[in-house]
Each structure stands twice: as C-alpha cells, then as structure tokens.
Amino acid sequence: MAKKKPTVVLGLLGPVLDSGAREQRWERWRPSVAVCQHPDLLVSRFELLHQPQYATLARLIRHDIAAVSPETKVNLVPFDMADPWDLEEVYASLHDFARSYPFDPEREDYLVHITTGTHVAQIVLFLLTESRHLPATLLQTSPPTRADRDPASRAAGTWRAIDLDLSRYDRLASRFAAEARERAGGLKAGIETRNAAFNALIDRIERVAVASRAPMLLTGPTGAGKSQLAGRIFALKKSRRQVAGEFVEVNCATLRGDGAMSTLFGHAKGAFTGAMTEREGLLRKADRGTLFLDEIAELGLDEQAMLLRALEEKSFRPMGSDREVKSDFQLLAGTHRDLAARVAEGRFREDLLARIELWTFALPGLRERPEDVEPNLDFELSQCERTLGSRVTMSREARARFVAFATSPEAPWPGNFRDFSAAITRMATLCTGGRIDVASVDEELARLRARWRLSTPERATPAGAGDDPLLRSTLGDEGLAALDRFDRAQLAEVVRVCRASPSLSAAGRALFAVSRSGKASVNDADRLRKYLARYHLSWEAVRG
C-alpha cells in the first residue's frame, strides 16, 4: 500500500480573524490555528504568509499551532503587500510567491487556505489555484455553528477540500458550460444544427464575441446568413451588457457617390447642394453600439480611408465640417467577395483589410451542411406559423421527398438559406388546411428546377447535346446524366455521323478526315470503335 504523502498548507495570516493575545483567544475560532485542530486533517507543514507589520501576531500563531499540533512545522513567510485591496498588487505578489516556491507535487500534497485575508486575496488565491500556478487543492474552513456546544468543535469549526479538477467543481463549471451552450444556441437562432464544422465555428464566434471588441469579418456566399448572424452577435453582447448603443446596419452595395459619404459619416448643413440640415451619419448613430457593414467590398476607396481612420482613432470628420466627431463602435463586416483579390485589383485598401480581418469567419453554404437541412426545415416551418398565424405541418412522405431533394446534387441552392426559406414559405402559404403534402412538395420542386435551369446556364442541358433525341435514345436518361457537358456535345456529333454512315469505316473516315492525313498508317474503324467503347457503346447499339 502506497504511503500517504505529507500535507502542506499555504495560507495568509488574518490580522482580524487570527488575532487574540490573551487566554480568551482559545475560546475564539481562529482560522489559521483551527486548520491544525482537526484530527482528520494532519498538516505536516504550514507556510504562513504575513505582512511585515503583523510579524508579532504571526509568531503567536506559530506558537499556538505548536501547542495544538506539535507535528506541524510552521514557516513564517514575510509577504510585502502595501494595499491588500489593490487587485493588481496582490496578484503580482502572490504570483511571484507561486513562481519562486519549490513545489514538489510528487512528494507532497498542497492545500491553499482561502478563508483568511481580504476578499481580493482570496480571489487571487482561487485564480492561481485554478490556473495551476499553485498546484494545490483549495482548503475552505468555516466557524462552528451556534448550536455546536462541544468546546473542541467550537474552536476548530469545520473544513472541506475543493479540488478544482474533480466532480464538485465540475458541477459548478457545468453551469458555465450550460450558459455557453445557451449563448451559442442564440447565435444559431435556437436551431439544433448537426454539422460539426458549423457548430465548432459558432462556438468560436461566441467566444470571440464575448471576449473582444475588435472588428469581425463574416464571409460566405450570398444567403449564408451573415446579416442574421451579425444581429445575433449584437444581441449576445447586449444581453451581457457589453454594448449600450444601437445595432446599425447598412448594405454598402446601396451606397453611391456623395450619398455614401453622407450616409456613413454625416454632413454639415450646406456641405453640398441640397444639404439643408445637418445629418448625423450611421457611424455616429452606432456610438457605443455595433455597426454592421454588409457587402463591405462594395464600399468606395474614399469611404474606406475614412472608415479606417474612424476605427483606429474613434473619430472622423463629417462632410463639410471642420470639427471632429467621436464614435466608439464595434464593426462587423460581411462580404461574399474575395477581399484579398480586391486588394490585388486596387479596389480595396490593404490597410483596411489588415484592420478588419483579425477575426474572420467563413460561413458555409447550405450545400456544405446537408445534415442541417432537417433542423432548418423545422425552424422555417415554425417561422411560417408565426407569420401566417396558423399551425403548419408536413406529412411524412412530403418531408422525406423534400429532404431527399434538398440534400441531393440536383439542388444547388444558389441563394442558400434565402432560397431555402422562400421554398418553405411558398409551400406553407399555398398548402390546404395547413398541411404540406406530396403534391405541394412536387409543385415546389418543379418550380425550383425550372428557376435554377434558367438562372444557372452551366447547369442547363446544352442544345444539340443533352436535348438531342438520338443521344438520349442511345444512352437513356441515366447514361446522359452521367456525362459532362463537353462529352455530351462531342458524343452527340459522333452519334449523328454514325447514323448517317453506311459502315463503321465510313463513319471513321468522316470523323477523322483531318487527323488521318498526318498518320503513316490509319485504321479509322478501330479508332472509332475504341472511342465508342469508352461510353460502353458498340457500332450496332449506335445504329439502333
């Protein structure tokens, strides 16, 4: 059986609680002495830190500990602390002690006594123990209750150890973890998302949002939810009283010419033709709050220069004004553009990019989060219920059909969650009796397919290839869908030539008329046969 390691207590002298010079002191509870009065807590060594002016009291405590626990060695450690209520000074002093003390956790167990000293000192001891600067367990002692009439108990009181690495602290820490989950859930609008990468991203954004006021850059495709996330970041900071001002939002793509400068920075009366009154501007309106500049890549170079100055100096000059205006705001910026590429093109300031990209978060599109289609479907249905004022449900078959389509390669979702939300809204609005059935889903899917075919040319079936009846009759719908656009066009021409030629050789001569002239030996029929074999076709199959 392993031998128990000696126990070492580290504690501060309590000038008030530990005081007492006469015999009556033994009738009082004195924490530093009481530590050594418990039969179930054997202290081998007590490192008693004290301020120099209390050296006499420290020697008395050492004497009294020797009386109640002769086996305990007490080391008096002078501790220079001019102002015990100065957090910075107390932390620095105790931190220096922790760094210089020769801890040996392999051979000794350490307890940090947190009952004595000012509240500031107790907080610092907790922090240093939690950070493992003090490799110890916290020791908390308490005075006896009024009902306790046993003289020995009244002098010793009670004690308990608080190991920050074990379950008791874990239960305490779990409250903070639950609060963190609640904050992250707020950033996701309460949607129980399943995509691991997205959840990790949101957790990181939550930590940064709570800890920092530095600019944050939200990137990602159109409709990925940048604007909504910016609003939720502000709401999170507002709930923690980290901002006192407003959430001010503007899409930079809507700002042009003098209007852009005036909208952002305001103007003085008479600054330009039509400026009949003074205008505050959005930066000033966002003072002590949050400014969200969506599509910041569209901001003009002059406005970018003024924004940079406002970020760095927290001041700017409105149009036509000769006085500085102060505004302390946190900037959130959104864009679907590649800002580094815009810098290379001379369309975005490199120094502004360096200022706003400290915290950059790339939001994924819907196609990158197939696991989150169902949670977002439930969220959108609940939103429709609020908007329409009536319950909206979806049959099991309809739900399965929509989810299968939404997560398939057939659904590009170019507008991401914007398209997704619109699709659910249309089905919920048009359905009969508040229930979306298979027919409602099929109608919406047909609409989406038609829209995407028209708005996304690269996904459309190329004329003369995919729509060619000869090619479709030769390969079938499934075989045709497996071909790239380039291969469809080329193979369609080969099929037409083969259908018009009397033999394999004749078709080969027609197809390779130019390239065959440069060959010493030609075998057009074999060359064509091998080409057709790439698509699992034969001459007979092509001829029909």
Q: Which of 303, 227, 230 is nearest to 264 (CA)?
A: 303
- Tell me the H-state helices in 456-543: 469-481, 485-500, 504-511, 524-533, 539-543
pLDDT tens per residue across span 208-261: 998 999 999 999 999 999 999 999 999 999 988 889 999 999 999 998 876 899
DSSP 249: E
| In the chain, ranges of CATH 3.40.50.10770 domains | 7-165
- Domain 366-459, CATH class in plain words: mainly alpha
pLDDT band at 462 (very low <50, low <70, confident <90, very high): very low
pLDDT tens per residue across span 489-540: 888 888 888 888 888 888 888 888 777 666 666 788 888 888 888 888 888 8
Which residues lie below 8 Å from residue 303, measured CB to CB, with a gap of 6+?
A: 255, 260, 261, 264, 265
Q: How far is CA 278 from CA 121, 250, 268, 321, in A?
A: 54, 20, 5, 10
Lowest mean pLDDT among 58-62, 330-334, 499-503: 499-503
CA distance 515 to 122: 89
Rounded mean pLDDT of the chain? 87
CA distance 60 to 18: 10
CA distance 366 to 423: 14
**Is the model's pLDDT at 117 over the cut of 90?**
no
Report strand pairing: 158-162 vs 137-142: antiparallel
The domain covering 180-362 belongs, at the CATH homologous superfamily level, to P-loop containing nucleotide triphosphate hydrolases (3.40.50.300)
pLDDT tens per residue across span 267-301: 888 667 767 788 889 999 999 999 999 999 999 99
pLDDT band at 455 (very low <50, low <70, confident <90, very high): low
Q: What is the CATH number of domain 7-165?
A: 3.40.50.10770
Question: Which pairs with CB-CB distance under 8 Å and at least 24 residues apart come from 3-7?
Answer: 5/107, 5/108, 5/109, 6/44, 6/45, 6/107, 6/108, 6/109, 7/41, 7/42, 7/43, 7/44, 7/45, 7/108, 7/109, 7/110, 7/111
Comparing 404 with 509, which gets the higher pLDDT?
404
| In the chain, ranges of CATH 1.10.8.60 domains | 366-459
Q: How far is CA 167 from CA 110, 131, 162, 164, in A?
A: 19, 17, 10, 8
**Is the model's pLDDT at 205 over the cut of 60?**
yes
| In the chain, ranges of CATH 3.40.50.300 domains | 180-362
| Full-model pTM | 0.59
Which residues lie below 8 Å from residue 209, measured CB to CB, with a gap of 6+?
A: 187, 216, 233, 236, 237
**Is the model's pLDDT at 176 over the cut of 80?**
no
Whether the Cβ atoms of residue 194 and residue 375 lie closer than 8 Å to each other: yes
